Amino acid sequence: MLNAAAAERNKEPILAVLQESVNTGRHLQALEISSGTGQHVTHFAQSLRNIVWQPSEFDRQSLASIEAYRAHYQLPNVRPAIHLDASLPYQYWGGIPPESIDLVVNINMIHISPMACSEGLFKGAGAVLKPQGLLMTYGPYAVNGQIAPQSNIDFDYSLRQRNPEWGLRDISFLGSIAEKSGLFLEKVMDMPANNKCLLFRKESLV
| pLDDT digits 0-9 by tens, 14-32 | 999 999 999 888 999 999 9
Residue 74 is predicted with a pLDDT of: 96
Give the model's pLDDT for residue 165.
96
pLDDT tens digit sequence for 71-84 = 999 999 999 999 99
Over range 146-152, report the average pLDDT. Answer: 96
Q: Residue 32 forms beta bridges with which residues?
A: 55, 105
Q: By the 8 A CB rule, do 38 and 81 touch?
A: yes
Q: How many Å apart are CA 47 and CA 24, to the nearest integer? A: 10
Residues 168-192 have pLDDT tens digits of 999 999 999 999 999 999 999 999 9
pLDDT value for 205: 59
Considering only CA atoms, which of 92, 102, 61 is closest in space to residue 202?
Answer: 102
Q: How far apart are CA 74 and CA 72, in angstroms?
A: 6
Task: Give the span between the Cα atoms of 189 and 200, in whole angstroms.
Answer: 12
CA dihedral 137, 138, 142, 143 (to 10 degrees): 70
Nearest to 42 by CA among 68, 62, 21, 16: 68
pLDDT, position 170: 98
Using only the alpha carbons of the chain, give its radius of gyration: 16
Phi-psi region of 14 (alpha: psi -120 to 50; beta: other; left: phi over 0): alpha
Q: How far apart are CA 18 and CA 11, in angstroms?
A: 11
Sign of the C-alpha dihedral computed for residues 38, 101, 103 and 21 taken in this order: negative
Q: Compute φ and ψ for 4, nearest 5 degrees.
A: -100, 120
Question: Do 135 and 167 form a contact (C-beta atoms < 8 A)?
Answer: no
Buried-exposed string 123-157: b where 16+ CB fall within 10 A, e elsewhere: bbbbbbbeeebbbbbbbbbbeeeebeeeebeebbe
Cβ proximity of 103 and 132 under 8 Å? no
Residue 204 has pLDDT above 70, yes or no: no
- Structure pTM? 0.96
For the chain, give the percent of residues with pLDDT over 90: 97
The answer to whether 179 and 128 are in contact (CB under 8 A) is no
pLDDT digit string, tens, across residues 108-138? 999 999 999 999 999 999 999 999 999 999 9
**What percent of the chain shows pLDDT beyond 70?**
99
